[in-house]
Amino acid sequence: MSIRGGQAIELGRSGVGGPTIVETKGVSVALTDEVAEPEPTEAEDGATAPDTIIALEELSVFYGDFRAVRDVGFDIGQHEITALIGPSGCGKSTVLRCINRMNDLIDIARVEGSVTYHGVDLYGPQVDPVEVRRRIGMVFQKPNPFPKSIYDNVAYGPKIAGRKAGLDEVVEESLVKAALWDEVKDRLKDSALGLSGGQQQRLCIARALASNPDVLLMDEPCSALDPIATGRIEELLLGLKSEYSVVIVTHNMQQAARISDRTAFFTAEPDPSSDRRTGLLVEFDETGTIFATPSDERTEHYVTGRYG
């Protein structure tokens, strides 16, 4: 979601109740439940901590009767990069997909606990999950451009939202933010499938930005890229956090250490009734603390390479 530029937003389902208008950082925002203005909090060192934009509390995810993730809770700060790290199968991507309700697309998935955005319960009955996904964008592990032109890929979101005017400006602005404009400005009508892997991933980021989100979710966005393309994406994310909040799942601990402000470490525990494992959050803190002086031995063992 964007609360920039004086735009009002609404997450409600059409025809269900009326939106509540609140002021968030001086901008009118239309939501469906009461929203509390975030209060600045004091960090342990006395510095002012960033406002919380998304909060997870006692979050558990079930696939049928199996609990894949249990009791996860942490806050995502505004204009920060939050990294989710941990071994394969610990629930990082599952938790990420809960933030914009992508797990709703899995028939047997069920979510317990709460995910709030500016104080609004994103799983509330009046909240439209499609609108949530537009306001909380997502970029996937493998670049997935549409079999359309570069221009049409970026313009896709605004077009389906009903926008007709100013598409050229939206496309250019989004490609500039994704650090791709200079490379494609003379071939916008060419197929996006002709771009390199790194360019395709930046195009997918531009496509997400074109819908004017407030938060970007990144599910291992560099895992299929070479080191040079990975470096471009990392530089891009560091630049984007001045306007957006970013949550990134990564298996690359060096990447988490390089670009994130806060890090959540997950692990998995055996399910005594089956051979499957349930993910859980072990520790969440500033990234420097997680990698230098973690409070849990399991975190230390993971970040020092003793397992995982």
Work out the number of other CB atoms within 10 angstroms of the CB of residue 122.
Answer: 22
Report the C-alpha gap between 298 and 286 in whole angstroms: 17
Report the C-alpha dihedral over residues 177, 29, 128, 83, rounded to 10 degrees: 50
Backbone angles phi, psi at 206, to 5 degrees: -60, -40
Residue 83's closest CA among 237, 210, 212?
237
Question: Which amino acid does the sequence have at 296?
Answer: D
Q: Where are the domains of the chain?
A: 20-303
> What's the whole-model pTM score?
0.83
The tokens describing 136, both together, are: 């909380």
Work out the number of other CB atoms within 10 angstroms of the CB of residue 62.
Answer: 16
Report the C-alpha gap between 184 and 236 in whole angstroms: 16
Residues contacting 34, CB < 8 A, separation 6+: 20, 22, 119, 120
Q: What is the CATH number of domain 20-303?
A: 3.40.50.300
The tokens describing 216, both together, are: 């970007």
Q: How many Cα atoms sit within 13 Å of 201 on the Cβ side?
A: 23
Strands (DSSP E) found in 95-140: 109-117, 120-121, 136-139
**pLDDT tens-place values along the chain, 308 residues long:** 333 333 344 565 544 444 433 333 333 344 444 444 445 444 444 344 578 999 999 999 999 989 999 999 999 999 999 999 999 999 999 999 999 999 999 999 999 999 999 999 999 988 999 899 989 999 999 999 999 999 999 999 999 888 889 999 999 999 999 999 999 999 999 999 999 999 999 999 999 999 999 999 999 999 888 899 899 999 999 999 999 999 999 999 999 999 999 999 999 988 777 778 999 999 999 999 999 999 999 999 999 988 75
Report the C-alpha gap between 215 and 208 in whole angstroms: 10
Question: Which amino acid does the sequence have at 307?
Answer: Y
